[in-house]
Structures are given as structure tokens and as C-alpha cells.
A and B are shown apart, each in its own frame.
Chain A
Amino acid sequence: MALLEWNRLADRVNADPEFALAARFWDATLRLDVGTESRRLRFEGGSLREVTACEREAECDLHIAAPVQEWERLLAAVPRPFYQDLFGAQLHHDITLNANPLDFAAYYPALRRLLEIFREARSTRA
């Protein structure tokens, strides 16, 4: 089963009020490497405009990479210790995060909420 229902993701993200506040004015591309597959999320004006499959080295502003099983642990309904948050997870687990530090910090609240939305989407689907 795919990590997420990618074609339904934008609707879910854009309907989230907390994300809307945290992501205001955000223009960026986020690449998610899930095992051997990659997805590119394009944000414009704080909204998720499109989610597309992409090449692993596709250009992006931020990128999060992890093996499939690490993504599953990160997005578990009740994550185990140190998987509950991206900041801590990339310090302690096999999860890589690359971004301009200032852009990352400015929009960390949006990133954090985005992962929570992913988690909720998986829980709902399960």
C-alpha cells in the first residue's frame, strides 16, 4: 500500500486551518523521498498546488528522505519515542532533512503540521 493517497493530499492539506495559518505566504517545493520513490509537493501562497511523482534528484527547496519503514514509524498513529516530531526524528533516526536553515525555521510550524496531516490521513485510511 502506498504511504499516502497522494491524489487526495492537496484537498486535505488545504482544508486544514492550522496549516493555512502556519503556511501563509509560503512559496516552496518540498520533495519527499519514500524509499525508492519520490514525490514533489509545490506550495504557492501557502496552498498546496500540486503533488507529482518526480525523479529522486529533482530540484527542490526542501527535501525529506527516509526508507519506507522509517516513514511508517514517523507517520504512525501513535509514534514511538523520538518519531513523534520531524526535528527529533531526523536527529535520532535514519531520516534526512535538507533545506536552507532559515527557510526551514521560518516554515517549521507548517512542516510539522503537514506531517501531522499525513499521519491523520493514514489513520483515517487504515
Chain B
Amino acid sequence: MTRFDSAIGRYVYLDIKDVEYRVYFEDSGGDSRKIPLLLQHTAGADGRQWRHVLEDRELAERFRMIAYDLPYHGKSLPPVGIEWWKQEYKLTKDFLMRVPRALARALGLRRPVFMGSSIGGHLALDLALHHPEDFRAVVGVEAASATPGGYLDLWNHPRVSNAFKASVMYGLMAPTAPEAYRRETAWGYSQGAPPVFKGDLYYHDVDHAMGDRAREIDTSKVAVFLLTGEYDWSTPPALSQAVAEQIPGARFQIMEGLGHFPMSEDPERFLGYLRPVLGEIASAAGCAG
């Protein structure tokens, strides 16, 4: 008997700042009875990182999970309407915040939950601060108020191949995570277009920096949950804890035995931490199962 994944992929056209983007996403399915959950991948990667979460039957009973590829990532090609090859690729906070909101509008999602890792984790905080009305909750994985120092030319140098960033990303994962999944996660990095990882780190290491503004996040409007892997040396748990302490009502947990890519390096272990968080969000929405 032929075996298929449950998630289905398709393309949607989004208009962001007068440019049309053809954006790829994978959808676990469901209608408005399920809570929509948007999934944002890490810098230089794509939505394949969420493939295990998308297939979790327990989560799929209550959540409609949508993992999208940012423009220039994965199957979301660069836009046809601009001469992107004449510009240095650089991801800004302004653009990044527009993508999940445009996607939610296009798909008719009412106040989805947003979950993201790394740039997605930082984005969770930015969305909670700047657009609390658009999301019922955010889950920031490997999130912090600032992570300076990593926006380096070495990530996109003519004499350095993609194997470098893939190898460094491999080292960001827990040594006890399943080998095959760590390799798969690193593989995705070796496939990314060369300028993209460094360009994404502009947001991660420069443009995101929140200063003390996390204090302004109002968790009565948007719930905030932060999860960080203990092996993550690029966003050490202490940084996530520090920003959680600035946000009254935010929840933070260190994930033992996990690193920077928990959803793809060791999905079963990550789901053990994630299910209670999403269960709490579902209960708050009156959808406890």
C-alpha cells in the first residue's frame, strides 16, 4: 500500500509592499474548527524543518498547521517583479513581520497561533510586540531580545561553500539527537541559496534587537511561550530566560537534550515539550480535547 504524508503543499500569491510573491506552504489540513498554527523556519532554511510536527496526529486533531517557506527560501522562489540579482539579499524586520500576516489574511486564518524558531523565535517576540491583535499566542523557539555578533561575511564568501554553514549548524544540535535527523537538518542548510543565510542573519543579529521593548508585550492580548534547547550556543537559554523575565505572564522552559533545531533534530523529544504548550493554548481557546 502506498504511503503518503498527511500534509499537502501548494502555492499562494501574496502581495507584500507592492511586490507579488509566490509562496509555498504545507498544510496539515482542516477548517475553521481547528486552531490555525503558522510555522516559521530558521534562517537560511525552509519549511521542511517542520515536517515531523506537521505529521503529528495528536496536534492535527486540534490545530491546522501551516509551514511556509519565506520568499527566497525552499520552494518560494525570488519574486519575478524585482531585479533581486542586483541587490544584496537582506531580511528586515519590517518585511519578515509582513509575511505571516499576509499569509494569514490570504488563507482566511483568524488570529492564528504563531510558532517560529531562531529568526522565527525572534519574530514571535516582534509580532507579540507590534501586532498582538493578529495572533492569539506566539511560541518563540530559540528566541531572545537580541543575539548580536553573527552577521559575518564568512557566511557568504566566494571562497567558502555551503558545506561550512551546514557543518556549523550540525554543531548547534544536541549530540544525543538522532543522527539521521541531525544530518537531514544540516542538509537543508547545504541546499539554501548562498546569500540567504547571511541575509537572514541581518534580521537575527542586527535588525531584531529589541532593547528593553519586550517589557511592552501585553500577554493579556497575546500569550507568549518561549522554548529553548540547552545545547543552543547561538541563543543560549540564559538569553531566552532573560527576555521571558521582562514579559509579565510569559512562560519559558529549557528543553533538555535539544539544540537550536528542536523540531527537526529530535522531533519526538520536541513534541514532548510542545504538546503541553499547545494544549494550554487550545484550552484557552475553549477547544480542550
Contact = CB atoms under 8 A, between A and B. Distances in A.
Max count, chain A CB within 10 A of own CB: residue among B161, B168, B172, B176: B168
22 contacts: A22-B163, A82-B231, A82-B233, A82-B236, A84-B174, A85-B172, A86-B171, A87-B168, A88-B171, A88-B234, A91-B233, A92-B233, A92-B236, A101-B154, A105-B157, A106-B160, A108-B163, A108-B164, A108-B168, A109-B164, A109-B167, A112-B167
B172 A105 contact: no
Given A84-B175, A87-B171, A88-B172, A105 B154 contact: yes
Interface string A64-100: 0000000000000011011011111101100000000
Contact of B161 (A87, A101, A106): A106
Contacts of A112: 167, 170-171
A102 interface: yes
Interface residues of A, number: 20
Interface of B: 154, 157, 159-161, 163-164, 166-168, 170-176, 230-231, 233-234, 236, 259
Given A78-B175, A108-B168, A109-B164, A84 B157 contact: no
A88 B159 contact: no
Interface of A: 22, 78-79, 81-82, 84-89, 91-92, 101-102, 105-106, 108-109, 112
Contacts, number: 57
Contacts of A78: 175-176
Nearest to A91: B233
Contacts of B161: 106
A88 B171 CA distance: 8
Given A102-B159, A102-B160, A85 B171 contact: yes
A22 B164 CA distance: 10
B116 to A, nearest CB: 22
A109 B189 CA distance: 13
A39 B138 CA distance: 50
Contacts of B157: 102, 105
Contacts of B176: 78
